[in-house]
Amino acid sequence: MHPLNSLPVPTLVDGQVVIRRPEARDAATVLAGTRDPLVREFMQGVVPHRDLAAAERWIAEVPPLLWSAGRAAYFSVALDDGPSVGWAELVDLRPAESAAEAAVWLLPGARSLKMASAALRLVCRFGFEQLGLRRIDAYAAADNMPVQVVGAYIGFRRAGFRPELFRSSRTQRLHDAVYATLVPEDLC
C-alpha cells in the first residue's frame, strides 16, 4: 500500500459523477449533510456544523490534515463540475493489512439516481488502483438497505453480522451492522 500523503487528491469520473477534493464551495452541502436525519442516523460520530462559516473552515482544515497524516481520504461527490451533492471517504486506513473502510452519503435530492454506486465505485477504484489496497470494508446498519444494495451492486460481499456495532449520531441508539468486504477482482 502506498502512503496516502505520497499521492495528490485526484479527480475521478464515472459518467457524470465526479469525486474530487472538497472545496469551500461545498460548504452548504457539508453543512446540510451533517444535519441530515438519515446521515445522522446511519453514520457514527457526525457532528453538525454550527453554520456555513464553520463548515467552510472544517473543509479548509480537516480533509487536508487527515490526508497528509495518512488517516483518511475525503472526497466531495458532484455531478460534472457542479457543486457537491454528497461525500465519499476511505477511513481507518490500515497499511499493515492494506485495508480501509469506505462510506458514502448523498443529500436527499441526489438519492435514488444511481449516484451512490458510482461514487462508491470511484472511491474504491482510488483505493485499489492508486493506494494499492487489497481489501475495502464497509459497515452498514442492518436496517439501512439502500447502502447494502449499493455495495452489493459494485461487488461487496457480505462477510458478517456485528450486533450493536455502532451508535446513531441522531438518537445514540445502537445499530446492529452488516459487515461487507470488497477485493479488487470483484469491483464492478
Interface contacts to ligand COA, rule CB under 6 A: 38-39, 42-43, 103-106, 111-116, 140, 144-147, 149-150
Considering beta carbons, is residue 20 or 144 the nearer one to ligand COA? 144
Give the distance between the most distant pair of CA atoms in the chain: 42
Q: How far is the CB of 120 from ligand COA (least distance, A)?
A: 8
Q: How far is the CB of 12 from ligand COA (least distance, A)?
A: 17
In angstroms, the CA 47 to CA 40 distance is 8
Considering beta carbons, is residue 61 or 143 the nearer one to ligand COA? 143
Closest CA to 163 of 147, 139, 136, 129: 139
Q: How far is the CB of 166 from ligand COA (least distance, A)?
A: 9
Considering beta carbons, is residue 62 or 91 the nearer one to ligand COA? 91
Q: Cell numbers of 113, please? A: 439516481
Closest CA to 107 of 124, 83, 87, 82: 87
Q: How far is the CB of 1 from ligand COA (least distance, A)?
A: 22
Q: Cell numbers of 141, please? A: 446498519
